[in-house]
Structure 1
Amino acid sequence: MKKMMLFGTVMLALTALTAIPSGYPGAQEVTVYSGNMQALNDLAAAEFQKAAGIKANIVRVPSGVAMKRMRAEKDNPQGDVIWGVSKVALMANADLLAPYKSKFSDLIDPLFRDPEHRWTGTNLQVPILMYNKKLVKEGEAPRKWSDLLDPKWKNKVAYSNPANSSFSFTVFTMMLHAFGNNEAAWKKMEAFLANVQVVEQSAMVPSNVEKGEFAVGVALEYMAARYVASGANVGMVYPEDGTAAQAEGAGIIKGGKNPKSAEQFVDFCNDKSFREKVIKEMFRRPARKDLDFSQIVPMPPLSQIKTMPGFVDTDYLADREKILTRIKDILLRIK
């Protein structure tokens, strides 16, 4: 009888050991909130499983929505990592992130990582102009951001909602900066808003332009470059008045249930073999400064792209909600 009781006790202990819940040492999974396209999420999940033996549950969600979700869950976080959102969004929500110095941190320019290691840059987003070649001749395509104020583009320009897209917010503040960041500049930005049609997600812009639903789009470099490389009837323009290189990054959600797996995933995001695969398959410009992709994708080195003089995206961070409210009020009045 005692032997039977001892056997039962041992079996219960073994059962408990094999049923360790997520978040305890030995847990082999991580939940990632991602603003990336599903194709990249799928690639990352598969490659991370192979590299680390850890299952990545990657939840695709727009960056603005992801941050609202994290804040709503802060007392009981359901995610472990935030990935694929802008530097601006990460800085604005840094209180939700746990410090961790990635092993690849020193390969990232200090401009593209948090000095307190709450997030690290993974790739760089460059805003560009994209146009449909069937609707716009190459010589007539807009060459500058200021060209988008011309009434001839009214309702012909696709622009993603800056409340949902940090990239679109950066474009808006970059143009506001170029025009002087004063009331006269806001008048010009009203003319810009009058010409655009707002779509809800940045991924919709290149698709809409390629289909001919819009003649021109304010797009992300990598999205447009993929269409160009595939032979689609579209062109892309690096604006002559300058653009920006905005970091997207990854950070560990404070209080998440799988902190060790989260650290491994953040490191993996900048792993050399993974980044090279992402460049080749997804055209995503890496934040790592030691990777040469000039022979892989049709995108120039960052050093050859003119940046907007004097523009610093984080200068507008404190006034983000105020700017978004004013944009919304203008759209309600003029549309």
Structure 2
Amino acid sequence: MGNGVKKKLLTMVMITEAVLLLFSGCGKISPKKTVREVSEKYSVADENQLIVYTSHKKEVYLPIIQEFENRTGIYVDIKAGGTQEMMQMADAAFAQGLCDIMFGGGVESYEAWKDNFMSYESSEARELDRNFMSKDGTWTPFTELPIVFIYNKKLVNSSSAPHTWEQLFDSKWKGKIAFADMDNSGTSYTIVSTISQITGDSPENVVSRLYNQLDGNILKSSGDVIPDVSNGTTLVGITLEETALKAINKGYNIDMIYPQDGTSAVPDGCGIVVNAPHEENAKLFIDFITGYDTQSYAMDEFYRRPVREDVKLRKVFGDITIIDFDVQQSAEDEKIAFDTWHQLTGQED
């Protein structure tokens, strides 16, 4: 046997052993050696690739994508950023077939960009809460994300903290509210849309009132909200329940309030981009994130409410009044809300 043949056989054995190791543990999700290590060392066939654009934080997307790689042998190319940034990138990429899937961001953003996404029903659809499903299948829900208030528990008494949306606009909170730039945070637009639908005020008026109440204190990203309130730079903030619960568990100097007049629980989504070069792999990814293991993992590790009805909710989640959030209306309002925001912040085109 020639040296060339021996080398080829040795390489095949190494790849086979690596893949067997990767697939040897397919129970509950847990970070482990990934297909990525093999894929980067050896060339990967096109049919074993997937291009994911995500607005999730790395702590969320990485273990999920790693486990998907482990279970399927598919190598995932990840591009991450803010929701609006990634939606715009997906818009630019889909015509050239450069993106397979968008993972993360409120589903109202998917509605606003729905022409960029193809219809697909997950193989797990029968187990998902129909209240959170897309009517035309252009997006699939990942987790349920209620909006909550937080406050600095050393500087603000629970009784004096805001308990309703209107109380946020009290003069005593002017310049003391932690809120991220809408251009960098999908959550911030969800907050605006939630206030609009609860109060009946127009989205442009909500943006104007909120901008005035912030008094120039606009945070760069949603990741700054928790530390800004915890260290006393601001006194109260608006964020996701999962973000608040994780911070409380880590010992941040905050406490959480569920708005008495109700709140939204808009799911974050996932959608297959039109002209996806690896469409079948994208479908597998959606099936994976809506599967029982991934949904349970997201609840246990990220404090995210599952959209599967067969996953029992943990006691750490409180009782909340959820409004009937109109996703399509929110999508229709998005342009005027952002136009108003850009005018106020001096970012007009």
**Is residue 262 of structure 1 aligned with residue 262 of structure 2?**
no
SS in 1 for 2:94: coil
Q: Deviations over 1:99-138 (max 9, x none)?
A: 2221011222233222322211111111100111122122
The counterpart of 2:328, out of the listed 314, 328, 334, is 314
1:82 & 1:45 partners in 2: Cα distance?
A: 13
Question: Could you say which residue in structure 2 is the equivalent of 1:201?
Answer: 221
Amino acid at match of 2:317: M
Amino acid at match of 2:149: L
The counterpart of 1:169, out of the listed 183, 186, 189, is 189
Indicate how the Cα distance of structure 1 residues 21 and 47 shifts in structure 2: closer, same or farther if over 3 A, else same.
closer
By how many angstroms is 1:241 displaced?
Answer: 1.2
SS in 2 for 1:126: strand
Alignment check: 8 A CA contact 2:207 2:341 kept: no
Alignment check: 8 A CA contact 2:208 2:340 kept: no
**Is residue 32 of structure 1 aligned with residue 32 of structure 2?**
no
**Is residue 244 of structure 1 aligned with residue 264 of structure 2?**
yes
Alignment check: 8 A CA contact 2:174 2:213 kept: yes
SS in 2 for 1:140: coil
Alignment check: 8 A CA contact 2:197 2:325 kept: yes
2:114 & 2:195 partners in 1: Cα distance?
A: 26
Alignment check: 8 A CA contact 2:82 2:186 kept: no
TM-score computed with the length of structure 1 as normaliser: 0.84
Q: Deviations over 1:210-234 (max 9, x none)?
A: 2332211111110000011223221
Question: Could you say which residue in structure 2 is the equivalent of 1:78?
Answer: 98
Structure 1 unaligned blocks of 5 or more: 1-17
Question: Could you say which residue in structure 1 is the equivalent of 2:210?
Answer: 192
**Is residue 280 of structure 1 aligned with residue 295 of structure 2?**
no
Q: What is the count of residue pairs matched by the alignment?
A: 305
SS in 1 for 2:111: helix
Alignment check: 8 A CA contact 1:41 1:58 kept: no
1:332 & 1:98 partners in 2: Cα distance?
A: 35
Alignment check: 8 A CA contact 1:94 1:118 kept: yes
1:111 & 1:229 partners in 2: Cα distance?
A: 29
SS in 2 for 1:138: coil
TM-score computed with the length of structure 2 as normaliser: 0.80
Amino acid at match of 1:203: G
2:222 & 2:272 partners in 1: Cα distance?
A: 24
Structure 2 unaligned blocks of 5 or more: 1-41
Identical amino acids, percent of aligned pairs? 24
Alignment check: 8 A CA contact 2:53 2:90 kept: no
What are the residue-to-residue correspondences of 1:1-335 with 2, within 5 Å? 21-22=45-46, 27-181=47-201, 186=205, 190-196=208-214, 197-295=217-315, 298-300=316-318, 304-308=319-323, 311-331=325-345
Alignment check: 8 A CA contact 1:122 1:288 kept: no
Alignment check: 8 A CA contact 1:210 1:234 kept: yes
2:185 & 2:202 partners in 1: Cα distance?
A: 23
**Once superposed, what is the RMSD of the aligned Cα atoms?**
2.4
By how many angstroms is 1:189 displaced?
Answer: 5.7
1:182 & 1:261 partners in 2: Cα distance?
A: 41
SS in 1 for 2:272: strand
Indicate how the Cα distance of structure 1 residues 43 and 241 shifts in structure 2: closer, same or farther if over 3 A, else same.
same
